[in-house]
Structure 1
Amino acid sequence: MLISVLLVVAGYAGAMADETEWTDRYVILSGDEQTGYLHVREENGAAQLEYFVDNNGRGPKNSQHIVFNPDGIPVSWTITGESTFGDPVNEFMRWEDGMFEWRSQADSGHIEAATPPLYVANDSSPWSLGIYTRVLMNLAERSLDVIPGGTLSAEPVETITVAGQDMTIWQIGGLDMAPSHIVLDRNGRFIGTAGGGIIHEDFRDAREELLRVGQELSQARLDNLHTGLAHTFDGPLRIRNAHVFDPHTAGITGPHAVTVFDGVITLIEPEAGAPDREGEYVIDAAGGYLVPGLHDMHVHMNAQNGLFHLAAGVTSVRDQGNNPERLHQLMRQIDSGEMPGPRIVPNGMLEGRSPFSVRNGLLAGSLDEALEIVRWYAERGYFQIKIYNSIHPDWVQPIIDESRRLGIGVSGHVPAFVTPDQAIGGGYDDIAHINQLMLGWVLNEGEDTRTPLRLTAMARAADLDLGSDRVQRTVSAMRENAVALDTTAMVLELLMLSRAGEYPDNVRGHVEHMPVGYQRRRRVAHVTINTPEDDQRYRAAFQTLLDTLAMLHGEGIQLLPGTDAGTGFPLHRELELYVQAGIPAGETLALATLRAEEFLGRDQYLGSIERGKLADFFLIDDDPTQNISAIRQVRFVMRGEAGYMPAEIYTRLGVRPFGTPVEIRAPENRPGDDE
């Protein structure tokens, strides 16, 4: 009998110890810390798996049973357990007597099939990558159409020696936005991922080597991906016939002719009467609209998503917690022009050590360690300290005080057993995530927000009275202490309103353009809905969240549009939600441009399209102050000295483009050219 994955970790591990010996044992790692395991038993053409991850108070947990045909293709596959946020998983596929059927959170179906097709599991484990690769490596084309859709491909990219054994790194494409790199030994046994997130226990000492190789492969892919996408100009670039969004007034001016040279806006002239000049590159905006580059105030950057941000018109981001070494390297690569990406403002994540710790950033086991980490971040120029869930309540004020002494700001979650009012009064500059604020109005004393409760308790907001003393006391404190809110409302929409088998409103407008793996992941639930009443409570609670956005904006609280995501599209949805909440589109755009830069102290050279400022802006066809969704149709992006065509970027990334590229007319004659 399969073991229930709903047992606590200790009980779960103890129960597994009574089972027959496992064939293979793997460790799940985040940074240098173990956050889970995968145990596999293979015998008689079948496999049993137990998969457990607990990272930041969440993670998938499931039991699997797979039966293979002689070619290694699954003909039966059952997965039971829970998804990352605890929603029940009961997935299966079966091929029998020429009929294939499947059911997952995302989809279900049945087809006639004389031979078993290859099924891509929805809620599985990294071990599945080995299954797919072993099937593909025996095909001449190493490519195969799969169920429920799409095409998988496998390519051997490097042979390495690990612990004296020859192994092959395979690149698997077609599953997601970027290919996966996995390691198989000479017998086709799955050893782990080249990124080091999972590795066989027998080869754990080789993780650093696999991590290095994986980073090199990813960098080589990115170098190839980036080639030729940046359009640079050895003379002035003039964008003609363009209306301009002005965040100072939240209105539209123009039409203008806007000139850029060496990454700086040098001229803004009325279009009427602006003469053509020799030596200029010219883009005819055809009456379109230039918008200052958007700023996402909550991301966790990696090298893979820089292009996604730029293609969406996101030219600046605030990184809210990352591996410092990797973030420093990425910032150097972007600043030098080696890699395309947005301008990055780094925040240093500071987490307390506990069973619920997140592994981004740096962990402290004592107050002294926490204060030393604050000093480490400060001397490296970080903008803020980001306090996280497991920081001990008694440490919060000393951390804030030390940050203030060193001239560094404070952002973050409200740690468990601390109230938002305490964080606000203690000296936070902004609170990260609107639920971290609202939980202070719905939680009972002693409830632990290091668990998924920080999501599920939001259902209580269905009954929340925003006019109550409890709420208004917090709002008054935010206003008096000039504390902002990093909203990430779209994350809460995705988590609270996603339903199995359906696309939520959160992804409409871009999901149809995405690879099938991305589409499928967006048709899963994140909270457990047992009754229609459960569904209605989450929907009513989300409306309260939108009402909270409108109330805070009306009270003069600065909203910082952030997403906690990495593909750019979510920021478009975040701004749509602001407008849905009742904030005018022009004011919403001002919050995502100039107001964000004012918060970061960079508004003297970023945030608006003005002479002398850096040339960070994007071009769309329609007026975003009348229809905020017009920002989805980006045709051209300027980020300093380089211009980008989103259509070209998306084509490289396997995404169907949203807008048509502009035409750039090169100069026929330049001053100084020979006659």
Structure 2
Amino acid sequence: MRRLILAALLAATAPIAALAQTPKEQLMTAPAGARHYTISSTAGKHGDVWSWTLPDGRVAYRMSMSLRGWVTETDQVTTLDAQQRAIAIAIRGFTDVGGADENFSMDAGGVGHWKTSVDSGSAPAAGKRYNSYGGPWLAGEKDIEALVAAGPAGIDLLPTGHASIAIGKSVQIDGPGGAKTLKLAFITGYGFSPSPVWLDQNDRYFGNAGGISLLPEGFEAAGPKLKEIQEKATAEMVRDIAHRFLSAGNHSPTLVDNVLLFDSVAGKYLPNRAVLIADGKVAAVGGAGSIKAPAGATTVDGRGKTLLPGLWDAHQHVGGDWNLLQNLATGMTNYRSPGTLIDEGQDIYKRRAAGDLLAPDGKISVIIDRKDPLAAQGALTVSSEVEAIEAVRKVKAAGMWGVKFYTSMNPAWIAPAAAEAHRLGLWVHGHVPAGMRPLDAVRAGYDEVTHINFIMMQAMPQDVVDKANTAARLEGPARYGKDVDLDSPAMKAFYAELAKRGTVIDPTLTVWEPLMTSDGTAISPEYSPFADVAPPSVVRGWKIAGYPLSEGLTRDDYRKSFRKMVDVVGRLHDAGVRIVAGTDGYGLELVRELELYQEAGLTNAEALQTATIIPARITGMDGIAGSIAKGKNADIILVDGDVSKDITNLRHVELVFLDGYRLKGAELRAASGLSGMPK
């Protein structure tokens, strides 16, 4: 979830890492009277950003934030020319993934020079603006002002890219000084989809609203209203796309013949098969050439291709309409969302059912956490066992599928809240609360443990377990993971009990791979196949230098610890523990997640089952989804290549059948911000 939250704020499209790490005590302190913005969510305040003008005319920014223990402390000084263009930028400090130091300057000849932790270079800067890799979020206001001034033509960016802004309707909100008029605008060029931003009545930057909001101090209460307005505007944009794809012409019968078919139930690939899709269902399955296409049907030659059940992402925090569209483009027809706001979940269900949202079908859980400065943003926060039980009932009443408990929960509340959830038929999963080990959580009622780092907590020192609602939940496994004996009697007994209890594990290995193994020299394997077809700003943000190293440890130590995370997935699988594939990201990471399962020892077919039939069974949807069989929903993908020989061919989506609608992969990719087929 963290990657998507950071991407949602315009001024920081990705986590930051850098060459140096200026300590907090050396960063600037905002003077009295400095402009003050706050970073907040429904869970409370998470940080502050200040801005002021230095005596020499330069503009200064200072940001301080803690998201559930992930700390950012940065400052920035920007030198502007007469046209308000940045001719020098100096960023210092650190974030949760490393030092943030970054420098940009423009020489007398108009050439821009930049250096970050992941890149450096020089290029003519005439008519262009430098798109900083990181820095305090509020500093992006200068770029927004430039976009407004440029009008529809937009501006070219350094190192590469182009951005523009479209200004929409005005609204009024209440603030400390009374009513204030704002304008909703959408920026393109920094991400896969248009990004909402709020301007004041003079078309100057006002703030960002969303799961996390950046707003002037005193306007925090307006965040939910602004978020609702921009989501309605986004819904209008994607509605036309949904209507175009979900047309009667795309719902005619389809016969896919002479194709390699993945039988997810048996875990086998069947050559030379034929599948007829009609009226939203699988109408027939048989040998190649054995099924006659009905009148008006589209026939697809499947030679050299693989037909599979649509993929599931078992850890996809849904909420963004554009991201759901992109999920379809990459072959995902189903998902589990382990943490979506109730109103957002209900809205997704409603618009999808009406045909106004082009999205996979899924099951949604809601996060429940204790009221605490380290509570999860977007959670229902509770202060007692009674409130925890009431929150569970609220989730059930809202029509959601499960509850996800979080790291700041009081361990004593888990068992009674989980018992109530089970009584109501809800799935129970989540992070392991501080002070508990995963087996404690399972014994208290967890059906599933989320994230492989929490599985590693079973072998962590007690001081790490006690601080699992802070960054220790990564730093502990990163430091000690390499030394864990995965085949010790204690660990074997752990795996055996999980298997006996039917516990499910959602590893999300692709969350930890870039943080623990990256050194800034290359894009992580989860994103590298998309580097040629994603927007330049997004691609640049994918290149990170990795989580800051603990004292006395090396990047190789962290890589060894990550290897243990991969290997423990194999041990769990061998012991009979069910694994489900999830990304906790865009969803683009799903195929890499399956690759890592193969590295852990699962076969190609076993890895693919974790993203097809297993999540379907867990959600109770295996009667209609998760496999290709007569009578089941036609949620199917056709990919170019033989997946049995190379699982990465899953990225080569040619057709997506969603509820029987025949959708072209190329058109879905184009609509969702991808310029072509990934590698």
**Is TM more than 0.5 here?**
yes
Distance 2:477 2:657 in 1: 39
Match of 1:198 in 2: 214
Structure 2 vs 1, CA of residues 405 and 219 (structure 1 numbering), >3 Å: closer, same or farther?
Answer: closer
Please identify, of 96-105 and 530-539, the stretch whose mean Cα deviation from structure 2 is larger: 530-539
SS in 2 for 1:259: strand
Matches within 5 A, 1:276-295: 276-295=293-312
1:109 partnered with 2:121:
yes
Measure, in 2, the Cα distance between the counterparts of 1:277 and 1:597.
30
Residue 114 of structure 2 contacts residue 121 of structure 2 at CA under 8 Å; is this kept in 1?
A: yes
Task: Map 1:129-528 to 2 at 5 A.
Answer: 129-139=140-150, 141-162=152-173, 163-193=178-208, 195=210, 197-201=213-217, 203-204=219-220, 206-230=222-246, 232=248, 233=250, 235-302=252-319, 303-445=321-463, 447-459=466-478, 460-528=480-548
Identify the residue that residue 61 of structure 2 maps to in structure 1: 49
Q: In the alignment, what sits opposite 1:670? A: none
Secondary structure in 1 matching 2:322: coil
Q: Distance in 2 between matches of 1:160 and 1:424?
A: 48
Paired residue secondary structure (1:509)? helix
Contact 1:506 1:573 in 2 (8 A): yes
The aligned counterpart of 2:70 is 58
Aligned 8 A contact 2:63 2:72 in 1: yes
**1:410–1:119 distance in 2 versus 1, CA, 3 Å:** same
- Compute the displacement of 1:161 (Å): 4.5
Q: Letter of the 1:318 partner, please give it.
A: R
Deviations 1:604-658 (A, max 9, x none): 2211111111111100122212211111101001111322212112112331221
- 1:545 shift after superposition: 1.5
Alpha-carbon distance in structure 2 between the residues aligned to 1:204 and 1:296: 33
Deviation sequence 1:315-349 (CA, Å, 0-9, x none): 11111011111111111111232211111111121
Residue pair 2:342, 2:398 contacting (<8 A) in 1 also:
no
Report if the CA contact (8 A) 2:276-2:293 is conserved.
no
Secondary structure in structure 2 of the residue aligned to 1:153: strand
Contact 2:342 2:395 in 1 (8 A): no
Q: Which amino acid aligns with 1:88?
A: G
Q: Is the 8 A contact 2:442 2:503 kept in 1?
A: yes
Distance (Å, rounded) in 2 between the aligned partners of 1:434 and 1:478: 14
| 1:37 maps to 2:52 | no
Q: How does 1:109-128 map to 2 (within 5 A)?
A: 109-113=121-125, 115=126, 117-128=128-139
- In structure 1, the partner of 2:3 is none
Equivalent residue for 2:639, pick from 614, 620, 626? 620
SS at match of 1:513: coil
Following superposition, the deviation at residue 533 of structure 1 comes to: 5.3
Contact 1:289/1:620, CA 8 A, preserved across alignment: yes
**Deviation per CA, 1:184-210, whole angstroms, max 9, x where unpaired?**
334454211254711122544544543
Question: What one-letter code is carried by the residue in structure 2 that aligns with 1:651?
Answer: A
Shift of the 292–492 alpha-carbon distance from structure 1 to 2, 3 Å rule, reads: same
Aligned residues: 648
Q: 1:249-293, CA deviations, whole angstroms, 9 ceiling, x for partnerless residues? A: 221224222111221111113223433432323222234211011
- Give the deviation of 1:584 after TM superposition: 0.7
CA distance in 2, matches of 1:550, 1:88: 34
In 2, Cα distance between the equivalents of 1:188 and 1:78? Answer: 26
Q: What's the counterpart of residue 541 of structure 1?
A: 561
- What residue number does 1:588 align with? 607
Please say which of residues 410-419 and 176-185 is displaced more in the overlay.
Answer: 176-185
Q: CA deviation at 1:182?
A: 2.2
In structure 1, the residue corresponding to 2:315 is in which secondary structure? Answer: strand
Which residue does 1:671 correspond to in 2? none
Provide the rounded CA distance (Å) in 2 between the counterparts of 1:387 and 1:167.
Answer: 37
- Report % sequence identity: 25
Mapping for residues 596-675 of structure 1, pairs under 5 Å: 596-658=615-677
CA contact (8 A) 1:255 1:287 kept: no
Structure 2 vs 1, CA of residues 610 and 86 (structure 1 numbering), >3 Å: closer, same or farther?
Answer: closer
Q: In 1, are the aligned partners of 2:76 and 2:136 still within 8 Å (CA)? A: no
1:153 and 1:254 map into 2 onto residues whose CA distance is: 49
SS in 2 for 1:609: coil
**Bigger shift: residues 198-207 or 440-449:** 198-207
Q: Which moved more, 1:514-523 or 1:141-150?
A: 141-150
SS state at 2:129 partner: coil
Q: Structure 1, unaligned stretches of length 5 or more?
A: 661-675
Instruction: Give the deviation of 1:531 after TM superposition.
Output: 9.0
Question: How far off its partner does 1:37 sit?
Answer: 1.5
CA gap 1:447/1:86 in 2 versus in 1, 3 angstroms = farther
* Alpha-carbon separation, structure 2, partners of 1:312 and 1:110: 35
Change (3 A) 1:569 1:206: closer
Contact 2:130 2:159 in 1 (8 A): yes
The one-letter code sitting in structure 1 at the alignment partner of 2:300 is I
| 1:105 and 1:523 in contact (8 A); partners too | no
Unaligned runs of 5+ in 2: 1-20
Distance (whole Å) between structure 1 residues aligned to residue 122 and residue 444 of structure 2? 58
CA distance in structure 1 between the aligned counterparts of 2:215 and 2:258, rounded to whole angstroms: 56
Q: Residues 404 and 187 (structure 1 numbering): CA distance in 2 closer, same or farther, change over 3 Å?
A: closer
CA deviations 1:442-469 (Å, max 9, x no partner) are 2334640111111122221111111113
Distance change (3 Å), C-alpha of 1:487 and 1:188: same
Retained in 2: the 8 A contact 1:48–1:63? yes
Determine if the alignment matches structure 1 residue 72 to structure 2 residue 84: yes
User: Do residues 96 (structure 1) and 113 (structure 2) align?
Assistant: no
Separation in structure 1 between the aligned mates of residue 678 and residue 284 of structure 2, nearest angstrom: 27
Counterpart-to-counterpart distance in 2, 1:5 and 1:366: 41
Residues 71 and 135, structure 1, Cα contact 8 Å, conserved in 2: no
Amino acid at match of 2:145: R
Q: Secondary structure at the match of 1:118?
A: strand
Q: 1:576 aligns with which of 591, 595, 600?
A: 595
TM-score, normalised via structure 2 length:
0.90
Report if the CA contact (8 A) 1:389-1:414 is conserved: yes
Paired residue secondary structure (2:554): helix
- After superposition, where does 1:557-576 map in structure 2 within 5 Å? 557-566=577-586, 568-576=587-595
Aligned residue for 1:505, secondary structure, equals coil
Per-residue deviation, 1:226: 3.7
- CA-CA distance at 1:570 after TM superposition: 0.9
Please report how far the alpha carbon of residue 112 of structure 1 lies from its aligned counterpart in structure 2 after TM superposition.
5.0
Check whether the contact 2:251–2:280 (CA below 8 A) recurs between aligned residues.
no
Q: CA separation of 1:86/1:571 partners in 2, compared to 1, >3 Å: closer, same or farther?
A: closer
Whether contact under 8 Å (1:105, 1:122) holds in the other structure is: no
Per the TM alignment, residue 501 of structure 1 is displaced from its structure 2 partner at its CA by: 4.2
TM-score of the superposed pair, with normalisation by structure 1: 0.90
2:374 alignment partner AA: F
Opposite residue 162 of structure 2, the aligned amino acid is T
Whichever of the two has the greater Rg, that structure is: 1
Distance 1:239 1:103, change over 3 A: same
- Structure-1 separation of matches of 2:437 and 2:468: 11
Q: Which amino acid aligns with 2:373?
A: P
